[in-house]
Structure 1
Amino acid sequence: MSTLSDREQIETLKYRYVRALDTKDWDAFGDTLTEDVTAGYGDRLTFSGRAAVLSFMTENLGSDVITVHNVHHPELHVDGDSATGTWSLEDTVIAVPYKLLLRGAAIYTDRYRRCEGGAWRICATGYRRIYESTLSLDDLPSFTLTSR
């Protein structure tokens, strides 16, 4: 495969990762990760293995928690069957049961591995926050979800 093709496949993989996370498509989300993936989201959340990542996501980001993750400005470096990537992230979380609105930005750092059959998967992922802010929805009396 050409480097350009690999880069395009890795970009598509990362976009699928955030789309599947936001739409709660847990099968598609899990398929973006290697079995032995490591993940670190900020200073508080670290996981080893696909099962651990999926368990946390499904238990904590169910249908009553709305997430929107936008990744952009990829810096990708491919070296044979492995690659690294750095991405800018902007995210919004609306946790309805907790009446919480979270907004943030971060820098993702990923490692990728070409797996059997040629598909790229994320084997390590994590981010370092630039900022994170929270607001109680109680402080926004006019806040209304008009679509969900």
Structure 2
Amino acid sequence: MSIRSLEELAALEDLRQLKYRYFRTLDLKRWDEFADTLADDVVARYGTHALRDPLVFEGRATLAGFMRDSLGPAVTTVHVANHPELTVDGSRASGSWAFEDTVIVPDAKSVIRGAGYYTDRYRCDDDGRWRIVETSYDRIYESITSLDDTPSFKLLSHMWEAGSQQG
């Protein structure tokens, strides 16, 4: 049994909070806060079994801009992450996270659901804050349901609808 230092325990908690903030700000479309979870030189690889080549983004502005442009008010997302396995080595760290996601795209009449495992690398930057340096995931599954196949589906509300007090 290894004894962990207070610094390592603090770093582990900071990393958990970082990944939770990554998903929360993504789902709530808080783009400036989302961008702050990413290192300036972040590299992200996102893909599914349906894509031959993953989507690759280099740099904070590129990745945050893609998310902002792709996941606007007409798209509702929910991400849940758990089972973190984190390793800290000084100002560097790595981690694995189980995740599930739901993406509702009314304009495309579809609901996408999936699950998988993220693999991340992190760095504690000069300002003392941990940020994601590299992120990617392996999908266990991804499914899509046409809303035409579920005529009873009705999105009762979401944060970005006209007249909403939130968002």
Shorter-chain TM range is: over 0.9
Offset at 1:106?
A: 1.0
> Which of 101, 116, 135 is the aligned partner of 1:106?
116
Partner of 1:78: 88
Task: Give the partner amino acid of 1:54.
Answer: A
Offset at 1:52?
A: 1.2
Structure 1: state its 5+ residue gaps: none
2:150 is the counterpart of 1:145: no
Secondary structure of 1:117 counterpart:
coil
Question: How big is each residue's C-alpha offset from its partner over 1:36-89, in whole Å with a ceiling of 9 and x where there is no partner?
Answer: 000011243111111110121111100110000001000000000000000001
Distance 1:86 1:79 in 2: 15
Aligned-residue sequence identity (percent) comes to 55
Secondary structure of 2:153 counterpart:
coil
More strand by share: 1
**Greater Cα radius of gyration, structure 1 or 2:** 2
Secondary structure of 1:2 counterpart:
helix
Partner of 1:67: 77
Give the number of aligned pairs. Answer: 148
Offset at 1:13?
A: 0.4
Partner of 2:103: 93
Distance 2:140 2:150 in 1: 25
> Which of 135, 144, 150 is the aligned partner of 1:125?
135
Secondary structure of 2:118 counterpart:
strand
Partner of 1:46: 56
Partner of 1:29: 34
Structure 2: state its 5+ residue gaps: 1-5, 48-52, 159-167
Distance 2:54 2:146 in 1: 21
Distance 2:54 2:107 in 1: 21
Question: How big is each residue's C-alpha offset from its partner over 1:10-55, in whole Å with a ceiling of 9 and x where there is no partner?
Answer: 0000000000000000000000000100001124311111111012
TM-score (normalised: structure 2): 0.86
Aligned-CA RMSD value: 0.9
